Amino acid sequence: MRKQYVGMVAGIFLAAGWAAGQTNTAGSASAPIVVTATRVEVPAAVVGSSVTVVDAEQLQARQSVSILDALRGVPGVDLTQSGGRGSIGAGYIRGSQSEQVLVLVDGVELNDPVKPGRGVDLSTIPVENIERIEVLRGPQSTLYGADAIGGVVNIITRKGQGPVSGGAKVEGGSFHTWNESLEVRGGDRRGHFAVGASRQDSEGISSASEKSGNTEKDGYDSTELSGRFGWTPSTEFDAEGLVRWTRSNSDYDGFLDGRPVDSDDHAESDRLLVGGNGRMNLLDGRWKQRLGGAIVDHQRDDFSSLGASSFDSQLRKVDWQNDLRIGEVNLLTAGLEYEEEAAESVYEAAGYIDRFDRHIARNKAAYVQDHFTAGPVSAVAGVRVDDHSAFGSEATWRVAPVYAVPGTGTRIKGSCGTGFKAPSLFQLYSAYGSPDLDPEASLGWDAGVEQDLMEGRITAGATFFRNKFKDMIDYDFALSRYANVGEAEAQGMEVFVAARPVDDLTLRASYTYTETENKETGTVLERRPRNKASLDATYAFTAKARGTASLLYTGDRKDIDYAAYETLTLDSYVLAGLRAEYDVRENLTVFGRVENLFDEEYEEVFGYGTPGRAAYGGVKMTF
């Protein structure tokens, strides 16, 4: 049966490629605007870096519930989840570690300083009130500092505009799951607002794999409140504020002899994000200044049969960005940043208490970037210097040129740059850490070509990439502490086709090939499949009815059996899904979806369960 699934994927890719090859006209009718690649809004066509935009239309068509759902199928991105909804979700970009990916909401960092590797749990970020998600691949430390070795995921929320409007949604389905959301927004030339609330509840599945005899369900619930506000007193000045509060409760399974087993463990998490900025236009708009700041608090409490543990962290950041237009071809972006993070934790297990006292790290940075655009040529070059309180100064750089071949719709593009990741507070100062750790570093490059066809109705592209990671930090069991344990390399290719051959049909297909190697051991890196492919096809049957079919193929990949301390291979799998919606009235829509249509049995992390076939349906109303 799996061979039939793979044959279906291959056939659809061949069909998409055939459709793309039927035309050779040039010129994209329209290009999306991206901000993450340069920290300035520019058309994607003049960006040399590899960036993918998941817009609100795609989120709606796929009926995504979390950011983890939304990123499945993005080229170069591999995702894992340790169980059902609400279980820990991790993202790997081009072979990097999940902790080497920086996650932002409207430019505010979500990476948690109290986590051992300073990572982000993608499963707990809902997609309500989101305008688009920009995924920037490759080292990005020049603009974003530490944690951006693998890339950046920037979640951009919806901005209120026009008369007051809003929407409400309710859905329910398998595993006693309920999702509800409400949002209201509006704006004019003097200001804007967008507020929202969402709730998720699910009885869930067993986090520990059911095929190992685990049957106790691990439930999950989450509540999020969000607001984005803006004030524009004049054409020369505006200010904006952002607040997001998330509380989640999740059951999880413990370990016995190195493997997950049923237990009554439970975690409660709170995250509060508050940010704001002011922008000023000078010299008739040729010099734009932005002064911003953010405070993010993370708190997590774990309750298990072995004891109660708590984890707390805070992140404070101020940044001053200047965009100066020099002549007609140069846009100079320069800025200063100051960041302070603090973390502390208490871990209890069967009477043993490990206390990580509060520690603080500070980082100061300065960066400058020039974006040169003249006719068909566009290029970015930048450099950054970070001064970290624990390990001193670190310099990074990046260049990213693109050449649009006149009259052909062809863009030749590439990028090359360095990245670094500072050791986390836990890795530096806990009982398992070392203040002598060096920061992780990377050198990465990519080169590719994109082709527009049918006046932009079809876009196809291929990119080759190679990344080298140095001084990787991992737990050394022989030393019983974190250490710089080695080097790794990742290389491969990303291919995509996005097509709208007719107004009613949208096709998106991608394939990623990734080779990884731990240079110290000669083995591949865990949980990164060599082959991954995806396809989405959305069709409007009538003016009121739309449907989406999707396929996601993930090849076999290595993982670790911690009970035996040996490497094993997880089987490949194909997930199929169907989604549909129907406009009952102008402001009332019913929708439904089936996930894992063929009830595939698979594992993303060894020993952890995954949902079988599941169905959901609901209604949404706009006003």
DSSP state of 66: B
- What is the three-class DSSP state of 593? strand
- CA 221, CA 124: separation in Å to the nearest integer? 10
pLDDT of residue 221: 96
- CA 170, CA 201: separation in Å to the nearest integer? 12
pLDDT band at 306 (very low <50, low <70, confident <90, very high): confident
pLDDT of residue 31: 64
pLDDT band at 93 (very low <50, low <70, confident <90, very high): very high
Per residue in 407-435, pLDDT (tens digit) is 999 999 999 999 999 999 999 998 888 88
Query: Quick one: tokens of 570?
Result: 């997880």
pLDDT of residue 526: 93
Q: Are 244 and 273 in contact (CB under 8 A)?
A: yes
Task: Starting at the earlier edge strand, list the strands of the sheet with 50-55.
Answer: 50-55, 130-137, 151-157, 101-105, 108-109
pLDDT band at 383 (very low <50, low <70, confident <90, very high): very high
Mean pLDDT over residues 213-240, rounded? 95
- CA 382, CA 150: separation in Å to the nearest integer? 18
Task: Identify the CATH number of the domain in which residue 553 sits.
Answer: 2.40.170.20
Amino acid found at 17? G
Instruction: Identify which of 170, 251, 253 has the alpha carbon closest to the alpha carbon of residue 203.
Output: 251
Q: Are 204 and 217 in contact (CB under 8 A)?
A: yes
Per residue in 265-286, pLDDT (tens digit) is 999 999 999 999 999 999 999 9
DSSP element (H, E) containing 83: none
Cα distance between the two ends of the chain: 46
User: Does residue 28 register a pLDDT over 70?
Assistant: no
Whether pTM exceeds 0.75:
yes
Comparison of pLDDT for 590 and 86, the residue scoring more: 590
pLDDT of residue 25: 32
Query: Quick one: tokens of 223?
Result: 């509540």
Whole-Å CA distances, 597 to 227, 440, 549, 610, 615: 36, 41, 10, 13, 9
**Domain span at 413:** 2-622
User: Does residue 601 register a pLDDT over 60?
Assistant: yes
pLDDT band at 538 (very low <50, low <70, confident <90, very high): very high
Q: How many domains does the chain have?
A: 1
pLDDT averaged over every residue in the chain: 91
- Upper half-sphere CA count for residue 143 (Cβ side, 13 Å): 29
Strands, E assignment, 114-190: 130-137, 151-157, 162-173, 177-188
